[in-house]
Amino acid sequence: MEDQNSNVIELTADIVANYVSNNVVSVADLPGLIRTTYAALAGIGSPAQVPETETIAKATPAQIRKSITPDALISFEDGKAYKTLKRHLTTQGLTVAEYKAKWGLPNDYPTTAPSYSEARSAMAKALGLGQGGRKAKAPPKARAKKT
């Protein structure tokens, strides 16, 4: 065991010496560098410690209902009201699907406030969008064979 410990000390000294020769390290940071390098080398071969992850309480059905108001959606991330969640979630580093999975929201949970959706729909209809659609092309005429 002592042979292994001295080997780890030698490796630590070599690694730190090479690092310091190629990088600027302050005198105050040197003990921390040696300590972390030694700990990393001594930990090789031992089972990895799994970091504890935050357990986030899933939203209850009552909380989900309260988060949907006619004029805004209340974010479970910061408790603030938003007309649409997509831009807010991208600033938080989440996609809509990740947000729904994180908070236990159903797949049909809205991402825009109902009044905002209605206003956008009314504006689109006023502009004539969705009225005509594309017309199908007429099938090509069959050529008559000459005999």
Residue at 32 is within a domain: yes
Taking the whole predicted model, whether its pTM rises above 0.85 is answered as no
Q: Is 71 in the same domain as 36?
A: no
Domains contained in the chain, number: 2
The mean pLDDT of 36-44, rounded to a whole number, is 85
Residue at 22 is within a domain: yes
Q: Is 111 in the same domain as 66?
A: yes
Q: Is 67 in the same domain as 37?
A: no
Whole-angstrom Cα distance, residue 38 to residue 9? 7
* Residue 79 structural domain: 61-127
Q: Which two tokens stand for residue 16?
A: 């730190």
pLDDT tens digit sequence for 76-94: 989 999 999 998 999 888 9
Mean per-residue pLDDT over the chain, rounded: 83
**Three-state DSSP class for residue 19:** helix
Q: Is 26 in the same domain as 72?
A: no
The mean pLDDT of 124-135, rounded to a whole number, is 77
Q: Is 109 in the same domain as 68?
A: yes
